Amino acid sequence: MKRIAVLSSGGDSPGFNPCIRAVVRQGLDYGMDVFGVERGYIGLIQGRFRQLNARSVGGIIGRGGTFLGTARSEEFKTALGQREAIRNLNVNGIEGLVVIGGDGSFRGAQALHERGVKVVGIPGTIDNDIPYTDMSIGADTALNTALDAIDKIKDTASSHRRAFIIETMGHESGYLALIAGLAGGAEIILVPEIETKLETIVADLQDSYTRGKNHFIIVAAEGWKPGTQALASHLRERQEELGFPVRVTVLGYVQRGGSPSAFDRLLATRLGAAAVAALHSGESGVMVGLIGNKIQTTLLSKVVKQNKSLDMSFYELAKVLEK
Ligand code: F6P
C-alpha cells in the first residue's frame, strides 16, 4: 500500500492530534504517502485532501482538538455521499483510510469497507462507549477535567454546607459521571443506564445531613433522566427538609478540550501506529483497540452492533464508599 489518508470524525476529544501525528509518521516510516482529510466525511465527499509530511504534524502532540477539523455528516449516511467519497479516494489514488472517531464514524467506516475501501478505525470519544476497547482516546483527559472540577466545587460545597449537582457529558453513557464521581468521592452518581428515583436522592441527602456531613456532591451524566434541572427544581422545592441549599454546575464542553493527558497521548500514539500497521499488512474493516494492555483488532461489523455496558462493579463500589 503506497498511499493512505486519515480523517477525524464526530465529536472531538483530547488525543486526536497525537493520533494523527502517529498515523502520519508511521505511514512515512513504511514509505507511504499520507494525506489528511479535512472535516471528516464532509471533506471526503468534497475531496478536501492535504498531503502531510513529518513537519505537518510537528508540535501538535500536546494540543487538544483536531488540526484536520471534524464534523458529523448526514450526507455521508446516503449511498450518493458514500459513492462520491469513494470516487474522491480513487481519483487521488488513495488505497487505505484511517478513521478516528466514535460509533457513528465507525458505521460510516464499515459502509466504506463493504463498498471495497480498505479502512481501519481508531476509537476516540470522551464518552468511552465503544466496545472492544477498554479506553477510547480522550476519555482519560475528560475524566481528569471533570475530576478537577469536582474537587474544586467540593471546596465551596463544604465551606458553605451546600449540595451540588455536577453534570458531566455523556448523552447515552454514564462512564464519565461514574468514574469521575467515584474518583471524586461523590455522595450520589446518576447515570442513564440506571434508574434512580428522586425520592431516593432526597432520602440520601437527608440521611447525609443527619449523619453530620458538611456537603453533598451529586455527579450526574447529561443523559440521566429526568435530568439535572428537574432534579435541582425538585430539591429546591424541598430545601427546608433537606438541610443543604442546592447549586448546579454543568461542566459541558470544557470536558472535550484541553491538552491530552499522558495516558491519552500514549494511547493515541499506539493506536495510530497500529492502525497503519494493520493497513500495511492488508487488514480492513477492523478497529484497533486497547484490551488489557495489548493493542488488538476487532471487526468493525462487531463493534457497531454492540453497546459497551457500564462496569457495574464501579457503581457498586461507589455506593459502598459514599458513606
Ligand atoms: O459523544 C461525545 C459527546 O461529548 C456527548 O457526551 C455529548 O452529548 C455530545 O458529544 C455532544 O456533541 P455535539 O454537541 O458536538 O454534537
Residues 147, 12: one domain? Answer: no
Domain boundary among the residues 198, 233, 256 is at 256
List residues near ligand 1 (CB under 6 A).
11, 102, 125-127, 169-171, 222, 256
**Of the residues 72, 169, 251, which should be mutated to test ligand 1's pocket, given the most ligand atoms within 8 Å of the CB?**
169
β-bridge pairing 216-221 and 246-250: unpaired
Phi-psi region of 4 (alpha: psi -120 to 50; beta: other; left: phi over 0): beta
**89 alpha carbon to ligand 1 midpoint, in Å?**
28
Q: Tell me, yes or no, whether 314 lies in a domain.
A: no
Strands (E), the chain: 3-8, 33-37, 49-52, 96-101, 118-123, 163-168, 188-190, 216-221, 246-250, 286-291, 294-299
**29 alpha carbon to ligand 1 midpoint, in Å?**
35
Rounded to two decimals, what is the model's pTM?
Answer: 0.97
Write the pLDDT tens digit of every residue in 103-133: 999 999 999 999 999 999 999 999 999 999 9
How far is C-alpha 254 from the chain's CA centre?
Answer: 13
Q: Tell me, yes or no, whether 114 lies in a domain.
A: yes
Residues 154, 113: one domain? Answer: no
Residues 36, 83: one domain? Answer: yes
Residues 163, 70: one domain? Answer: no
> In this model, does residue 49 exceed pLDDT 80?
yes
Name the CA dihedral angle for 183, 186, 192, 194, rounded to a multiple of 10 degrees.
Answer: 100
Q: Return the residue whose CA atom lies nearest to atom 10 of ligand 1.
A: 11
Distance in angstroms between the alpha carbons of the first and the last residue of the chain: 58
Which ligand 1 atom sits nearest the alpha carbon of residue 255? 4
Residues 124, 160: one domain? Answer: no
d(CA 71, CA 88): 18
Least confident residue range of 59-68, 142-151, 207-216, 252-261? 207-216
pLDDT given for residue 139 in this prediction: 98
d(CA 152, CA 132): 34
Q: Tell me, yes or no, whether 323 lies in a domain.
A: no
| Region 234-254 average pLDDT | 95
d(CA 5, CA 135): 24
What is the residue range of 162's domain?
140-256
- Please give the positions annotated as active site: 127
CATH number at residue 8: 3.40.50.450
pLDDT given for residue 322 in this prediction: 83
**310 alpha carbon to ligand 1 midpoint, in Å?**
18
Residues 156, 106: one domain? Answer: no
Residues 21, 133: one domain? Answer: yes
Q: Return the residue whose CA atom lies nearest to atom 4 of ligand 1.
A: 169
Please write down the long-range contacts of 224-230, taking CB distance under 8 Å and 24 or more positions apart: 224/174, 224/177, 224/190, 224/191, 224/192, 224/196, 225/192, 226/198, 228/165, 228/167
Which ligand 1 atom sits nearest the alpha carbon of residue 11? 15
Distances (CA, A) of 310 to 97, 170, 283: 30, 12, 30
pLDDT given for residue 19 in this prediction: 98
Q: What is the DSSP string of 24-60?
A: HHHHHHTT-EEEEETTHHHHHHHT-EEEE-TGGGTT-
pLDDT given for residue 30 in this prediction: 98
> In this model, does residue 312 exceed pLDDT 80?
yes
Residues 130, 170: one domain? Answer: no
Residues 144, 133: one domain? Answer: no
At 86, the amino acid letter reads I
Q: Tell me, yes or no, whether 181 lies in a domain.
A: yes
Domain count, the chain: 2
**312 alpha carbon to ligand 1 midpoint, in Å?**
23
pLDDT given for residue 6 in this prediction: 98
| Region 34-52 average pLDDT | 98
Residue 239 binned pLDDT confidence (cut-offs 50, 70, 90) = confident
Q: For a pLDDT cut of 70, what percent of the chain falls above it?
A: 100
Q: Return the residue whose CA atom lies nearest to atom 11 of ligand 1.
A: 11
> In this model, does residue 323 exceed pLDDT 80?
no
d(CA 179, CA 185): 10
| Region 181-207 average pLDDT | 96
Q: Tell me, yes or no, whether 310 lies in a domain.
A: no
Q: Which ranges of 211-253 does DSSP label H, i.e. alpha helix? A: 228-237, 239-242
Q: Tell me, yes or no, whether 318 lies in a domain.
A: no
Residues 89, 183: one domain? Answer: no
Residues 14, 126: one domain? Answer: yes
Residues 268, 241: one domain? Answer: no
DSSP 187: S
CATH number at residue 177: 3.40.50.460
Q: Tell me, yes or no, whether 311 lies in a domain.
A: no
Q: Tell me, yes or no, whether 147 lies in a domain.
A: yes
> In this model, does residue 90 exceed pLDDT 90?
yes
> In this model, does residue 35 exceed pLDDT 90?
yes
| Region 194-209 average pLDDT | 95
